[in-house]
Amino acid sequence: MFNNSSFLCGYFSARQNPVLSAAWKKHDYTPEERSNLQNYYFPEFAQCMADDITMYTLPIDKDCSLTTGDETVTFHVRDLKLWVAPFHIVLYAVSLRFENQEFNAITRTLNSLRNCPYYTEAHDPFVALALQPIIAIFQQSALAANEGGTSNSKDYSWLVESGNKFKIFQIMQALEPIQNGDEDLMLYDAGTLAPHTPLSTGINSPEYIAHILEGHKVSVFAGWKGLALLDTFTLLTTNTPERVIGIWEKDYFEKIYVYQLFRKVFLYSVNLRYRRRTEDVVALEAQLDLFEQKYSYTAISYNFLPNIINTNIEKSLNTQRDYDQLNRMIGKEIEVRREQGEEKTNKFLTFLTCLTIFSAVYDCASLINESFGYDTIFPSGFFGFRLVGTVLLLSVVIVYFFLSRKK
């Protein structure tokens, strides 16, 4: 049997920061909390999570049930968490708790809850209890074209700006020792929300499972293992005190995972505006530079474990790869524009140079005419003027080509 603490996460860009009702409780850091945060994390990251990103909590504290087929699973909805981040980004999470449940019952329920495009009438109690406050905030401030779907639609994918399902951060706690040799497979099944049969591989090949575990498993201390995937981050543990699980929730989820989700949705938003051409590319480059300067860190903590967790979440969410690709595309377009601008400027300068040369040749030919008089040397003054002007112009051209070849 297992206990499970999960967070269903979504996020969206907003026109402006939402106005929340009094029921949402703002988290103001106490001096002691700030001191602990600054002792544990680097100053830039501590300021980001304590000041730049503001967290609110809406208490729920009610049970909810989901029936799939012949199975009904009851879980506890603890609260809703919402983060108002810079650049008008809103992130949120539904905090769930499963107690003394079978592994497969938990994964089936979480898999059903995260697949928000495919909700049915069975999900209505969960929507009414856990999603309606988020829907109200979304409809108030979201930038999405489909602001809330249709009244009879069960597709809630518009609550997640990039993707078609909620992301999940979960702590799966085994209440009994896990069979020896089965931990990695159980970790994989928990991370992919797949049914688990001890010492079996289900639908995936052993080679694929080994490949995923090799590239995404986090294993530092005895007693727990982690798996960082694109849509889930999973901690599998046995006999871990609730006090420690609470620390994981406060640090690994509320700070590190939320921080990386913030980066993810910002980069997606900039990429979307770039491709849709809704903003000038120069303005987008300025936003990207500002974001990189303030909210991208090579390390976040004085301790090694938070840095390991952060690196693995960053890798699973592809945030650094997204940034590099976006920065390269925008930088390339800026460079092309700059080259095109320089080419236009050079053409204009060439035109002005030609005008100047013709003017100088004309003035010089006129000065010679005033000094000697072309009509006294040539059959006519007009013929003399044209001949001298031509000679002067050819001289300028010859000198120009000579200097160009010399360079």
Domain membership flag for residue 183: yes
* Global pTM exceeds 0.85: no
pLDDT at 404: 63
**pLDDT of 143:** 67
Q: Is there a single domain that holds both residue 229 and residue 353?
A: no
43 belongs to a structural domain = yes
Q: 3-state secondary structure string, the chain?
A: CEEEEEEEEEEEEECCCCCCCCCCEECCCCHHHHHHHHHHECHHHHHHHHHHCEEEEEEEEEEEEEEECCEEEEEEEEEEEEEEEHHHEEEEEEEEEEEEECHHHHHHHHHHHHCHHHCCHHHHHHHHHHHHHHHHHHHHHECCCCCCCCCCCCCCHHHECCCCCCEEEEEEEECCCCCCCCHHHHHHHHHHCCCCCCCCCCCCCHHHHHHHHHHHEECCCCCEEEEECCCEEEEEEECCCHHHHHHHHHHHHHHHHHHHHHHHHHHHHHHHHHHHCCCCHHHHHHHHHHHHHHHCCCCCECCHHHHHHHHHHHHHHCHHHHHHHHHHHHHHHHHHHHHHHHHHHHHHHHHHHHHHHHHHHHHHHHHHHHHHCHHHCCCCHHHHHHHHHHHHHHHHHHHHHHHHHHC
Backbone phi, then psi, for 54, in 5-degree steps?
-105, 130
Residue 74 has pLDDT above 80, yes or no: yes
Mean residue pLDDT of the chain comes to 86
Last residue of a domain, one of 214, 240, 266: 240
Tell me, yes or no, whether 25 lies in a domain. yes
Residues 29 and 167 in one domain: yes
Q: What is the pLDDT of residues 85-123, one digit of tens each?
A: 999 999 999 999 999 999 999 999 999 999 999 999 999
Total of domains in the chain? 2
Going from the C-alpha of 68 to that of each of 110, 146, 299, 310, 332, the distances in angstroms are 11, 28, 43, 35, 50
pLDDT mean over 177-186 = 84
Asked if residue 91 belongs to a domain, the reply is yes
Contact 123, 35 (CB under 8 A): no
Residue 230 placed within a domain: yes
Regarding whether 228 and 366 lie in a shared domain, the answer is no
Residues of the chain above pLDDT 90, percent: 56
pLDDT at 182 over 60: yes
Last residue of a domain, one of 205, 220, 240: 240
- 235 and 357 together in one domain: no
> Rounded to an integer, what is the distance from CA 366 to the centroid of its chain?
68
User: Of 95, 94, 304, 107, whose CA–CA distance to 187 is shortest?
Assistant: 107
Of 129-143, 165-179, 280-294, 334-348, the one with minimum mean pLDDT is: 334-348
pLDDT at 214 over 50: yes
CB atoms within 10 A of CB 397: 11
Residue 56 near residue 24 (C-beta atoms within 8 A): yes
- Residue 201: its pLDDT value, please? 58
Decide if 90 is inside a domain.
yes
Closest Cα partner for 237 from 264, 263, 219? 219
Task: With beta carbons less than 8 A apart as the criterion, state whether 37 and 197 touch.
Answer: no
Same domain, 207 and 68: yes
Domain annotation covers residue 330: no
Residues 232 and 372 in one domain: no
Distances (CA, A) of 320 to 10, 12, 213: 20, 19, 21
Q: How far apart are CA 212 and CA 286, in angstroms?
A: 37
Structure tokens, 156:
């809630």
* Same-domain pairing of 50 and 171: yes
Residue 29 lies inside a defined structural domain of this protein: yes
Select the highest-mean-pLDDT range: 83-87, 218-222, 369-373, 387-391: 83-87
Q: Which position has the higher pLDDT, 263 or 206?
A: 263
pLDDT band at 145 (very low <50, low <70, confident <90, very high): very low
Q: Could you tell me which residue, 228 or 145, shows the higher pLDDT? A: 228
Please check whether residues 225 and 358 belong to one and the same domain.
no
Cα angle, residue 340 at apex, residues 334 and 345 outer, rounded to 5°? 125
Range of the domain at 79: 2-240
Q: Give the lowest-confidence range in 38-52, 238-252, 346-360.
A: 346-360
| Single-letter amino acid, residue 228 | A
**Which of 220, 240, 260 delimits the end of a domain?**
240
Half-sphere exposure for 224 (CA within 13 Å, toward CB)? 20
Mean pLDDT of 276-287: 84
